[in-house]
Amino acid sequence: MRAMSIPLTETPLTGAALIKDQVRRLPDSPGVYRMIGENDEVLYVGKARSLKKRVLQYAQGRFHTQRIALMVDLTRSMEFVTTRTETDALLLEINLIKQMKPRFNVLLRDDKSFPEIVIRREHAAPQLRKHRGAHTIKGDYFGPFASAGAVNRTLNTLQKAFLLRSCSDSVYESRTRPCMLHQIKRCAAPCTGLISLEDYGKLVDESEAFLRGKSRAVMTRMSEQMQAASDDMEFELAARLRDRIRALASVAQEQQINPESTEEADVFALFAEGGQACVQVFFFRAGQNWGNRAYFPRVDKSDEDLDVMSAFLGQFYDDKPIPKLILTSVEPSERELLAEAFAMKAGRKVEILKPQKGEKRQLVEHALTNAREALGRKMAESSAQTKLLIGVAEAFGLEAPPERIEVYDNSHIMGTNAVGGMIVAGPDGFQKSQYRKFNIKGTDLTPGDDFGMMKEVLRRRFGRLVKEEEEGEADVVRPDLVLIDGGMGQVGVVMEIMADLGVDDIPVVGVAKGPDRDAGLERFFIPGKPYFMLEPKSPVLYYLQRLRDEAHRFAIGTHRVRRAADMKKNPLDEIDGVGPGRKRALLHAFGSARGVSRASVDDLAKVEGVNLALAQRIFDFFRKA
């Protein structure tokens, strides 16, 4: 692909005139174009089989909607990239949309990765575990699952049915007797030799077969083994097999829909109303329903359903595994091109189908019902949320209902592992992708200095905002309201910081718990005004309590993660020259860091990879004053 720079004429042109001027120099070849507005804001990203013909349509001024006319009118410059094929242009367009989030494109929001199950094959006793992200671990991957809950339920079932280990390699190597999971019949305990690696391997193969859709064959084989054990009067073994069969049967009972003729497919159903849309996604793997999730993409009421579906599918599969079959309630506008692009990424044929009858049609209709109901709930919640934000504006004397509320809280224990948390809320509820944590770095802070911690957090947050604004970042968003946990003292500290940074025009409100920290008696502090309270049963008060509690929950959770990480630190990590490989060898040789600390220099030097000098360094490390 090749980027093109179109020189501007002497007199700056805008809108349709600018586009018409640039069309004359465009090639009749595939590519991607970007329409750019004031302050380098990317307004729209599009692709074309012919850049010249596609962009010419904008220059001619024949627009289907007022929205497109507005987009053209706001255009101040354009950028172009030519590609080898239209498929390449489509893939580039998808990538740029996800990166730049243009104002006039259909945009997939809340695009989180999906959890999977992996059977790790890089160990003699393979481990069963949950996984997110790139497939960097050697093993067999199964997914996606719609939620962590769906994965956890399936993992619990698999542990009961196949007794596979879930412990880490270091825990496995250090075991001298079976753990609690073995006692409750959820692990075969290969770590202590209670099952041979050969027999354990058979359990691994059975679990893989089950996850690949061969559940009936696995259950039939278990039933035969149970009957044989019963005939041989090995009733304890028969009872264990019976429990394993029940665990597998529970998977089928928990699923609402288990298609008989659809082995692997993703199902997408779109329902749009009132300028809002919901896409419900169901995942079917191994003939089982592995859950569903509702998405609410950013759309305009003028967008056609087939265009929304096309844009959604492209962005959805930008970083996710693509199944052999994709079923949709609306045929996407570029079905063949999407199928070709997906096949290129997956390395095999991918079919996109709008089913007309049969079981596949029933799957789509079921997803469509869920999409309709989810959008109805979303619109009802949005209406209630709008009323609450109007109430917040009235309570705090804001000029308009806030679009972005930032709430701050700190968490620590006697000053240790101190962290600050920022949550964000607005018309769409909590915006968890915008949450931020701040590890307190100040070395001159007195342990437990809440004022000092708040100053550091706010200085870092708004110092960065000011820097981004000065650099002309297009996606910088100022909060319309800042809530902090505390009274007038904390508010005064925050206002000092914001005045220093030149952002003291942002409204700040302190929320302090009432006497005896009773909920409902909160006092609110605004600079230059006496504190006040809201009606105890006011919906706005309940909403503000929820914001404060969410900030507190996030800060405490972040603190606990940091504290747990510190507690898990191994002293060996602090010794120069002891990397992951030598650390593993030392732990295998002596069982634990305590065992290493008690070893002599000669014994340490016998470990693979540890020479005499390093052995002496390790020995001295554990005996330093």
pLDDT, tens digit, 9 for 90 and up, residues 119-147: 998 888 999 888 888 888 888 888 788 77
User: Total domain count for the chain?
Assistant: 5
Residue 450: predicted pLDDT = 74
Residues 448, 536: one domain? yes
Task: Show the 3-state SS of 71-102.
Answer: HHHHCCEEEEEECCCHHHHHHHHHHHHHHHCC
Average pLDDT over residues 15-35: 88
303-330 pLDDT tens trace: 899 999 999 999 999 888 899 999 999 9
- Residue 302: CATH number of its domain: 3.30.420
Residues 319, 216: one domain? no
More confident residue, 50 or 162: 50
185-244 pLDDT tens trace: 888 899 998 999 998 998 888 888 878 766 666 767 777 778 887 777 877 777 777 777
Average pLDDT over residues 55-66: 78
Residues 482, 357: one domain? no
Residues 150, 232: one domain? yes
Is 412 within a domain? Answer: yes
Residues 579, 511: one domain? no
Domain housing 555:
405-566
Structure token digits, residue 230? 């019963």
Structure token digits, residue 501? 């940074």
- Residue 13: CATH number of its domain: 3.40.1440.10
Q: Which of 100, 125, 142 is the last residue of a domain?
A: 100
Residue 625: predicted pLDDT = 43
Residue 518: pLDDT above 60?
no
Is 301 within a domain? Answer: yes
3-state secondary structure of 506: coil
Is 294 within a domain? Answer: yes
- Alpha-carbon distance of 276 to 34, in angstroms, equals 25
Average pLDDT over residues 569-586: 79
7-18 pLDDT tens trace: 544 557 888 888
CA distances, 207 to each of 235, 248, 557 (Å): 24, 10, 34
To 10 degrees, what angle do helices 305-316 and 335-346 make? 10
Residues 558, 575: one domain? no
Strands 436-439 and 416-426: antiparallel
Is 394 within a domain? Answer: no
Residue 384 makes CB contacts below 8 A (sequence gap 6+) with none
Residues 230, 272: one domain? no
pLDDT band of residue 562 (cuts 50, 70, 90) is low
Q: Which of 521, 540, 566 is the last residue of a domain?
A: 566
Cite the beta strand spans of 321-400 per DSSP E: 325-328, 351-353
Q: State which H helix or E strand residue 323 sits in.
A: none
DSSP characters for 555-587?
HHHHHHHHHHHHHT--GGGGSTT--HHHHHHHH
Taking Cα atoms as reference points, which of 181, 144, 427 lies closest to residue 292? 144
Is 439 within a domain? Answer: yes
Residue 63: predicted pLDDT = 66
Residue 8: predicted pLDDT = 46
593-625 pLDDT tens trace: 778 888 888 888 888 888 998 988 888 888 774
CA dihedral 256, 258, 259, 264 (to 10 degrees): 120
- Alpha-carbon distance of 339 to 226, in angstroms, equals 47
3-state secondary structure of 443: coil
Is 109 within a domain? Answer: no
349-367 pLDDT tens trace: 999 999 998 889 999 999 9
State pTM to two decimals: 0.66
- Please report, rounded to a whole number, the percentage of residues in the chain having pLDDT higher than 90: 25
Is 33 within a domain? Answer: yes
- 129 forms bridges with which residues in the sheet? 118
Q: Which of 66, 100, 134 is the last residue of a domain?
A: 100
The CA-to-CA distance between both ends of the chain, in Å, stands at 63
Residue 253: predicted pLDDT = 46
Which range has the worst mean pLDDT, 25-39, 351-365, 501-515? Answer: 501-515
Residue 361: predicted pLDDT = 92
Residues 146, 93: one domain? no
Say if residues 123 and 165 touch (Cβ distance below 8 Å).
no
- Alpha-carbon distance of 189 to 159, in angstroms, equals 12
Residues 79, 124: one domain? no
**Please, what is the average pLDDT of the chain?**
83
Residues 79, 164: one domain? no
Strands 481-485 and 405-413: parallel
Residues 88, 137: one domain? no
Residue 86: predicted pLDDT = 92
Residues 409, 527: one domain? yes
Is 485 within a domain? Answer: yes
Phi, psi of 359 (to 5 degrees): -65, -40
Which range has the worst mean pLDDT, 173-187, 231-245, 519-533? Answer: 231-245
More confident residue, 287 or 101: 101
Asked whether the CA dihedral 424, 425, 426, 427 is positive or negative, the reply is positive
